[in-house]
Chains A and B, each alone.
Chain A
Amino acid sequence: MELIKLRDLYKTYHLGEIDVPVLKGVSLTVGQGEMVALMGASGSGKTTLMNILGCLDRPSSGDYWLDGEETSGLSSDQLARLRNQKIGFVFQNFNLLARTTALENVMMPLTYAPVGIPDREARDRCVALLHRVGLSERSDHEPSQLSGGQQQRVAIARALVNHPPLLFADEPTGNLDSHTSEEILQMFEQLNADEGITIILVTHDAGVANHAQRVIHIRDGMIEAGSPAADAPRTPTAGRESPHTNAPPKETLS
């Protein structure tokens, strides 16, 4: 069953007089329950593709079906609802609300759910999610009191709170050291295996991409090659240090 289907997707930015084509006819399918890595150098159109896949942006032309729904004709309010219900986001810099407890951070997306959930139930669900990511002891902590790995785990719990079928992780380990990165990636794998959540890892780090069942390479706005999942190497490799690891992750929203 296909969760994502792209056909002939183009995206062109208009910078004044000049048209900058970023995506030049991308066609792609991702099945339900897959764990896919999206790789590409900077400037390859990787981020643009991810924005479109995440319903944050709209293609210039082409079709995008998400969970069987055509998205290019939707209004921005409908897209917001789609993001709320179908997609979870995990960011490189965590994007947690500062001076807000982990629990409240996790509860935040529920505020925008179209069908209200009783407070009691919402709370219970978030506590369970924090427990799931191994932070039940720290639900009252604020981001500044948490380590980078813990912050990213809060972010994962937040992404899962509306039970989305699709999880986007944009360089999720970019701000973490190798050991913590490994933990986070294992958590993704586990979520993928246990709950059948489709996960798309956006990265330029081959070590991270190795965790995926399939790697999609993007170059100059085109898909270079897709590799089937089954035979992808899954053993942790030594050279995993990304160039970002020495930057201690303390980024939160003010």
Chain B
Amino acid sequence: MSWLSKRFHSRTLRTAFRALRRNIMRSALTTLGIIIGVAAVIAMMEIGNGSSKAIQKSIASMGADNMVVLPGTAASGGVSFGGGSATTLTPNDGEAILKECPAVRAVAPVTRARTQVVYGNKNWVPLFIYGTSPSFLDVRDWTELAEGDSFTEQDVRNASKVCLLGQTLVRELFQGASPIGQEVRVKNVAFKVVGVLSSKGANMMGMDQDDILLAPWTTIKRRVSGSTLANVNQSAATASSSGSTTAVNTLSDIYPGQSALYPIPSDIQVADTPLPVRFENIDQILVAAQTPQEIPVAIRQMTQLLHERHRIKAGDPDDFNIRDMTEMTRAMSSTTSLMTNLLLCVALISLVVGGVGIMNIMLVSVTERTREIGLRMAVGARARDILRQFLAEAIVLCLAGGALGILFGRGSSIIVRTVLHWPTELSLGAIIASVMVSVSVGVVFGYYPAWKASRLDPIEALRYE
């Protein structure tokens, strides 16, 4: 039985092909509607996907994929010192996060300082003085430098006195001259400028992101913010910075280490009063997720890891906080869904237009072939045979149109990419969907003319002129 029906279908298909071949021009014109529809869908989807990806990428470069790990709060006698006052976050935490959290792309430890930067007779207090590692640029998607090169991991290990300057700082201190190779002083420590960052503008809070000095975190930690406990947290650092800015040019501090405030302890005294071994803590860890969508996964992985590393029992309060850019990710997801909906509308409209085209031509074809239908009925075709034949023709047309449409759509998106340099992205979903839709368009819009043909009275149809 199945053998019979299979043969029967192949025969129906062959009849359909024969009928289409008999009027190749009309078939081609009919298909054109679907070709254009499918090609438009695929081209739109690919161009749209590409633009959407590009938009996402540029939003991501604003830091949408960034998270920041802050130390938790320290408290003493019921007085909380606010977020970031605990001193438990270490650079090793950062390295562990990069190594053990697969959803994390890059990690940069950050120590902050706020003090005066001096070059020649100019001085400026930048918004940000960050001690970090070269991966900071990677995290912030800032790897294109305007001039020079970034400092290296080697510099971080050696606590070299090198720095990168933001555009604002260059403008304020150098007035257009190239700062490369020059030395700027930060709290009387001379930093050699190795590179200039490209301009990034203000962030979402309106803070000038170009007003920045980047240096190895080891250098900032050990030479600028010093080892005084006052500098380890932000509020303390800000409080002390006002003091240090006024003290910057006092002669007493020009040669640090030469004036001993306290008597040098003897070896025995040192042995008797061991200093508490203090590991180096940092102010925050900047983390970039693989994609903005993976941020929740990354947060889960980091929380787990830091619980283990900091030996925090279940139920105890965390000694760290992880923040993401909720505002930005929300903006991004709404942009993406808007793009998707827009593309869907365009796609549907073009397919409906194609389908109506098919229906029109099929209707014309039914009228034109009335006598053929009458003849087929006279020689024994049942109504359902006629219905099946016209439906098969419509579906064959739509499938052929779909296949050609894929070629044209891919082709035009490739042309758009090479000629106009628009970003495009191959969308397998669009291809599958448009083929499925074109077949259903064939069935839906081919059904009415086919039904009309099958309703014809053979006598009338045979006599039709």
Interface on A for B, CB 8 Å cutoff? 51, 54, 56-57, 76-77, 80-81, 83-85, 89, 91, 95, 97-100, 104, 108-109, 111-113, 116, 158, 162, 253-254
Report A-chain residues with C-beta under 8 Å of the C-beta of B382. 76-77, 80-81, 112
Identify the 5 closest CB pairs spanning chains A and B, nearest first: A84-B380, A109-B379, A99-B22, A112-B380, A80-B382
**Complex formed: what's the CA distance from A76 to B380 in Å?**
10
**Complex formed: what's the CA distance from A158 to B7 in Å?**
22
The reply to whether A253 and B379 contact each other, CB–CB distance below 8 Å, is no
The reply to whether A85 and B379 contact each other, CB–CB distance below 8 Å, is no
Report B-chain residues with C-beta under 8 Å of the C-beta of A80. 377, 380-383, 385
**Complex formed: what's the CA distance from A104 to B371 in Å?**
17
The reply to whether A112 and B22 contact each other, CB–CB distance below 8 Å, is no
Q: A51-B459, A97-B22, A98-B22 are in contact. Are A112 and B368 (CB under 8 A)?
A: no
The reply to whether A57 and B459 contact each other, CB–CB distance below 8 Å, is yes
User: What residue of chain B has the Cβ atom nearest to residue A77's Cβ?
Assistant: B382
User: What residue of chain A has the Cβ atom nearest to residue B380's Cβ?
Assistant: A84
Q: A98-B22, A112-B385 are in contact. Are A54 and B380 (CB under 8 A)?
A: no
Report B-chain residues with C-beta under 8 Å of the C-beta of A84. 379-381
Minimal beta-carbon separation of A23 from chain B (angstroms): 14
**Complex formed: what's the CA distance from A120 to B383 in Å?**
27
Contact flags (1/0) for B369-384 with A, using CB distance below 8 Å? 1011011111111111
Report A-chain residues with C-beta under 8 Å of the C-beta of B4. 116
**Complex formed: what's the CA distance from A51 to B374 in Å?**
13
Q: List 24 A-B contacts (CB under 8 A).
A: A56-B462, A57-B459, A77-B382, A80-B377, A80-B380, A80-B385, A81-B382, A83-B378, A84-B379, A95-B371, A95-B375, A97-B22, A97-B375, A99-B22, A100-B22, A108-B379, A109-B379, A111-B11, A112-B376, A112-B380, A112-B382, A112-B385, A116-B11, A253-B375
The reply to whether A112 and B381 contact each other, CB–CB distance below 8 Å, is yes
The reply to whether B381 and A253 contact each other, CB–CB distance below 8 Å, is no
Of residues A99, A104, A253, A254, which shows the largest number of chain B Cβ atoms within 10 Å of its Cβ? A253
B window 1-21: CB within 8 A of A: 4, 7-8, 11, 15, 18
Minimal beta-carbon separation of B361 from chain A (angstroms): 15
Asked if B195 is an interface residue, CB under 8 A from chain A, the answer is no
Q: A51-B459, A97-B372, A99-B23 are in contact. Are A158 and B383 (CB under 8 A)?
A: no
Report B-chain residues with C-beta under 8 Å of the C-beta of A76. 382-383
Contacts A85-B380, A100-B18 aside, 16 further interface pairs with beta carbons under 8 A come to: A56-B462, A76-B383, A77-B382, A80-B380, A81-B380, A81-B382, A97-B372, A98-B22, A99-B23, A104-B18, A111-B11, A112-B380, A112-B382, A158-B379, A253-B372, A253-B375
